[in-house]
Structure 1
Amino acid sequence: MSSSDFPVSLPPSSRLLSSADFHLLADVPLVIEWFANIDNPQTQRAYRNALEDFMKFTGIERPDEFREISRAHIIAWRDDLKYRELNGTTIRHRLAALSSLFEYLCDKNAVTHNPVKGIKRPSVEGYLGKTPAISDYQARGLLDAPKDVSLKDKRDRAILATLLYHALRREELCKLLVKDFKHERRGVTHLKVSGKGGKTRYIPLHPAAGGLVLDYLEASGHGLDLAGALFRPIRNNRMGTLHTAITADMIYKLVRKYSAALGFKIGAHALRATAATNALDHQADIAKVQEWLGHANIATTRIYDHRKTRPEDSPTFKVSY
């Protein structure tokens, strides 16, 4: 299920609907309409997986069958997720996806109530993030991992530095344009970052990362293409045939490859966790870190604050007899 499930796909320049197209759009099921309103690709994928799992479990084949769902169906599905040994966070996310759909259906008067409301969900397993932050030594090793002077190595070093020094999400890095790397505010170069929910934030560019990005742009030759993607695939790039941005999956594989070669295998989100943890460990204000990360809630930022759990800060070492 995706926005491509819409029965009519019109180019942005189209101004008029034919009578047939009008009636097709009028008949779009609300379930498809709800899904098409989800902008974030990661949220789309997670919600699609949750919905497909629920439909498979209940045997739903048509959108109108959601009207027949009761609390008993939801509870049975939740218990089945537990039986399949999915972790508590995953179960909570899947129930949240289904609840979002039913809230939309309620708003449209397609159902009378949200059957997910009141269903007991697995408890939060704690406020410490599960994504591991790597050590300073490992971070330095990762930055030095691309050894050659090829265009690919210059690009990869620039990507790793941008992630480690600015705590970007993969999707945010993919959206960066060349001009987003050249914003100046109060005499300081900033990155213009398009975050979740269409929110834009400006992050001061770290000099170490800035130098590596400039090296990459000089080698790639697309530094003057201000409206073009900043980080691009390498093959045939010098010939100007590739203008699309690198994908989130490519970034994940890139981080995975270099970290595995160094003896620790991590995903790209670990670099975001590392940057956040490092900033907090060096006494960055947590409210500033929240803004830096683009978090809507400061409780999410606290996941990366490990200062209270450091053994050296324990009252144990304050005891003196």
Structure 2
Amino acid sequence: MADLPELIHETLPEVLPPAGRLLSAEAYQRLAEVPPEIEWFANLGSKATRRAYENALQDFRRFTGITQPEEFRTVTRAHVIAWREDLLQRALSGQTIRHRLAALSSLFEYLCDRNAVTHNPVKGVKRPPVESYEGKTPAIGDHQARQLLDAPDAGTLKGKRDRAILATLLYHALRRDELCRLKVKDYKQERRGVAHLKVSGKGGKTRYVPLHPAAGGWVAEYLESSGHGAEEGGALFRPLHHSRPGGIAKSITPDGIYKIVRCYSAALGFEIGAHALRATAATNALDHQADIAKVQEWLGHANIATTRIYDRRKTRPEDSPTFKVAY
């Protein structure tokens, strides 16, 4: 069974003409005949979303035996329920099952918009309950955050870069992908006289985050040592072999960020991933009475319910009625 990228390759014209040239009649006709199922997938902008949705749709196709895009139009709610039961029997987490059903639902919403189907068969299918509204990603303590910032060797280019990366994550609550997309010019933004980071978030949304002075100082120190501070269109954080002027202005990868956080935290005795630094920043801001609506905007969340996952003030042990009991 061909996977989705193979189907796209088979369906779309193999060679599009260079910019400035008209489509050939053959290419035009082939584009006009592209099934909406292929359009939907090809139109997904985020690589992470494409990867997640591809995994979900491939799983559904394997379960149902679908081999051609048009066969999705014969899917009924009964097919979706049977798939959900199969996912449950495989002991996948409730969150994973909800995400897979959401991916399939996204396809059918598009097909409805294109009048390819009359309804979305995923609607009305019961989804596993949310296990907890509290985030599962651990947030580290203030003393651990300080240890992490002090861990890199500030006498080396690698240490300066890593400290600047850790500070940017801890002080601004960025996602890994957002940090990797930062350009040098994004670090040099100014709004109302205050230095800002220009952050390209999920769904192509842009937000401006005030630059914390400590993080800004460490980023400036890194750029001074690396020498690529004048390359405004180049990546802000780069692999070491791309950090010299005139090199390839390629960004460090999200996997590279993960490994940096993992390495330093493991050496300190509390091994965590990069997302834990986002959770730490959000939790810390809320613990210090930041307005939750402002934190939502700061994090780039579309829904404030997602932000509430990081609000652990109601679950702090020191606030428990246990400690109010006196005999």
Could you tell me how far 1:11 is from its partner in structure 2? 7.1
Q: Superposition pairs for residues 92-241 of structure 1, below 5 Å?
A: 92-147=98-153, 149-238=155-244, 240-241=246-247
Q: Superposition pairs for residues 1-321 of structure 1, below 5 Å?
A: 1-2=4-5, 5=9, 6-8=12-14, 10=16, 13-147=19-153, 149-238=155-244, 240-321=246-327
Contact 1:7-1:28 at 8 Å conserved across structures? no
Could you tell me how far 1:318 is from its partner in structure 2? 2.8
Identity of aligned residues (%): 73
Contact 1:133-1:277 at 8 Å conserved across structures? yes
TM-score by length of 2: 0.93
Question: 1:201, 1:236 → 2: CA distance?
Answer: 27
Question: 1:38, 1:189 → 2: CA distance?
Answer: 33
Could you tell me how far 1:211 is from its partner in structure 2? 0.8
Contact 2:17-2:23 at 8 Å conserved across structures? no
Could you tell me how far 1:8 is from its partner in structure 2? 4.5
Amino acid at match of 1:44: R
1:111-131 Cα shifts (integer Å, max 9, x gaps): 222111111100111210111
Could you tell me how far 1:241 is from its partner in structure 2? 2.5
Amino acid at match of 1:119: V
Change (3 A) 1:15 1:118: same
TM-score by length of 1: 0.95
Larger CA deviation: 231-240 vs 130-139: 231-240
**Alignment partner of 1:184: what SS?**
strand
Question: 1:12, 1:196 → 2: CA distance?
Answer: 30
Amino acid at match of 1:252: Y
Change (3 A) 1:256 1:11: farther
1:128-163 Cα shifts (integer Å, max 9, x gaps): 011111111221121122125222221111111100
Question: Alpha carbon RMSD of aligned pairs, Å?
Answer: 1.8
Question: 1:301, 1:15 → 2: CA distance?
Answer: 47
Question: 1:71, 1:132 → 2: CA distance?
Answer: 37
Contact 1:146-1:156 at 8 Å conserved across structures? yes
